[in-house]
Chains A and B, each alone.
Chain A
């Protein structure tokens, strides 16, 4: 075991995958010599050479299109989109190509491709370095969408994604890269070096896609969260003194409905929490799934706490970002109803 940040865990997953399988190639903007703007691929070019880890032109559609061609050839590309906010020019290559290749060719060609993207807000990145576009991807048949919340999961899920025979969107909450973040931006963060989930197994292991993790067991209310919001939920629950069960979804698609159902049927209450905008967000899907499968067990309406339906603002970031205060209010309201 080694105590790692999420960045180090992601880098380690690349290293392990590249060492195990020479079909794994890594590329993107600034990922080669420099090792990425967040340093997630640092040292890989020196270790594995320029043809397995390299810089690309600034063209997201080019990066993903090259990845689709390489995956069709038989390589396992792991590509980085520098910020999730930059992915839009590549949506055609992701939604109509990577996601559809196996289906439309009846398995003649497949696309084992991992597209990594630093995601989400909380670093004063303004609207083009803060977005949470997960719902764009969960809406596309043929993609899997993953968002880890800690170094242990980041490494295991990334290794599973690289080994997956289908394209995986791997969203990395950049606010968590250096330590868990509970939404109290005025307080210092706890570094991963001092957190149990920063204790990462050495060498190879993988964390199965499609399985949620229960971060806190409880009987009164179920909180469905992923990424940074897992820690916001923890902070709110601690303050609220409510016996909440916090589920870290980890994989949004395929969704671990079994774990969700079991929890909601036990607690009878469900709070859905995400950083992305509300309307048509992934929370809408979560509410529908819970309503369809747990309606007769519910004691209160399902509640959503999300980012507002505005572009991501710069100066007003902490008013936009769902913090423990909003979650706390929602929990109190739910428990009263």
Chain B
């Protein structure tokens, strides 16, 4: 007999809201070193379990263990630590500059520094990233000047983007960093297109696409996986699952079952999860994915499991929707603390060196900031010309814009 009971709608809720005790006991974390490292040409069907586990290298004692360890020298790890520290100090100062009214908007990376910083080191200089607004680590690890970033944030006369873009929406082809849109998800499909173009051209360069957990619900995510799978595009497709899409917990985009990485299975794309707060693990996975892409084996889907320890942006107050203690309870820890602990454990770092590095980097960031502020901040000092507003809409200015510029008095 057919049931006639009234139906009800299921709306997922996070485990913890303001006032609740954070509880990550349902969050299954495999031991470091536990996940196998398959050959790059492994049959995707044979490694489906990797979409449900988490690749980890650093254990609780700060040791690097298992088959994914050993992709970086100790010198490279020290550089990696410095990149993450630079990003965190940069963020803190720019958040403060935003509070002081020197810019309109800022987005920080607190807790997520390892992902972009480590990933960049597994790519070649001429590969192309299609980032979201939370991958400035790609620029810092890629050697992009801090002053240039700040000029963009301040929209001053030396802003490489001429004051046209929202702060932090950087662009640098030279540094393999595609222009950030601000519209979520669009860049994921474009990364696949860029990778297809590289393959069409017989090039050796690969692309990396970036998307957040929330934006995987956009159609662009689905389209990107279809195209990447169909044409075996040389691309690494990164999902940064930082648990929160502004105030919406990741379960709203993911639904009640599976993982974000497991979405790749329907497309036959090798799909893995990695501890996003483990610099060594992120680098090892990035290297595996880029080797696959470069060998013509096609795309890899990577879910970086991490936690957005700060607000979504300078306009957001996370205490309104999640427990303040949740960040501290996050079981994968802090990426800087963990790499620092590892470097100390292997005798390559000390508390003294860390303190000295902290001071040195702070000094370098302050110097860059002074230089940028000496040019101008939003609305003060040297600003981009209003005349420039009409430039660059097209390569050649069409007659109607010439008329409008004249009308505007420029």
Contact = CB atoms under 8 A, between A and B. Distances in A.
Contacts of A92: 183, 186, 220
Contact of A142 (B161, B172, B394): B394
Interface in B169-184: 169, 171-173, 178-179, 181, 183
B173 A108 contact: yes
17 contacts: A52-B200, A62-B223, A62-B226, A66-B192, A69-B195, A69-B196, A73-B194, A73-B201, A93-B186, A96-B186, A97-B190, A102-B394, A104-B161, A104-B164, A106-B161, A106-B171, A144-B394
B392 A96 contact: no
A104 B171 contact: yes
Given A96-B183, A106-B160, A65 B223 contact: yes
A168 to B, nearest CB: 10
A75 B162 contact: no
A298 interface: no
B11 interface: no
A254 B399 contact: yes
Given A102-B392, A106-B162, A69 B189 contact: yes
A97 B196 contact: no
Nearest to B392: A103
Contact of B395 (A59, A93, A166): A166
Contacts of A19: none
B125 to A, nearest CB: 16
Interface of A: 25, 51-52, 56-57, 59, 61-62, 65-70, 72-75, 89, 92-93, 96-97, 100-110, 141-142, 144, 165-166, 210, 253-255, 257-258
Contact of A75 (B197, B399, B400): B197
Nearest to A54: B231
Contacts of B398: 210, 253-254
A108 B227 contact: no
Contacts of A141: 393
Nearest to B389: A103
A215 B181 CA distance: 42
B235 to A, nearest CB: 10
Interface in B243-298: none
The residue in A74, A93, A210, A258 that gathers the most chain B C-beta atoms within 10 A of its C-beta is A93
Contacts of B160: 106, 108
B193 A61 contact: no
B197 to A, nearest CB: 4
Interface of B: 128, 130, 160-162, 164-165, 169, 171-173, 178-179, 181, 183, 186, 189-201, 207, 219-220, 222-224, 226-227, 230, 392-395, 398-400
8 closest A-B pairs by CB: A69-B193, A65-B189, A62-B223, A66-B193, A73-B197, A254-B398, A69-B190, A105-B179
Contacts of B199: 51
Contacts of B190: 65-66, 68-69, 72, 97
A62 B227 CA distance: 7
A102 B160 CA distance: 13
A120 B395 CA distance: 30
Contact of A62 (B189, B392, B395): B189
A96 B181 CA distance: 8
Contacts of A25: 197, 200
Contacts of B220: 61, 65, 92-93
A108 B186 contact: no
A62 B346 CA distance: 47
B400 A106 contact: no
A74 B193 contact: no
A65 B192 CA distance: 8
A109 B186 contact: no
Given A69-B190, A73-B194, A106-B171, 12 more contacts: A61-B220, A65-B190, A69-B130, A69-B207, A72-B194, A102-B394, A106-B161, A108-B173, A109-B179, A142-B394, A166-B395, A253-B398
B197 A70 contact: yes
Given A57-B226, A69-B191, A102 B183 contact: no
A74 B192 CA distance: 14
A254 B404 CA distance: 13
Contacts of B191: 69
B226 A65 contact: no
A109 B392 contact: no
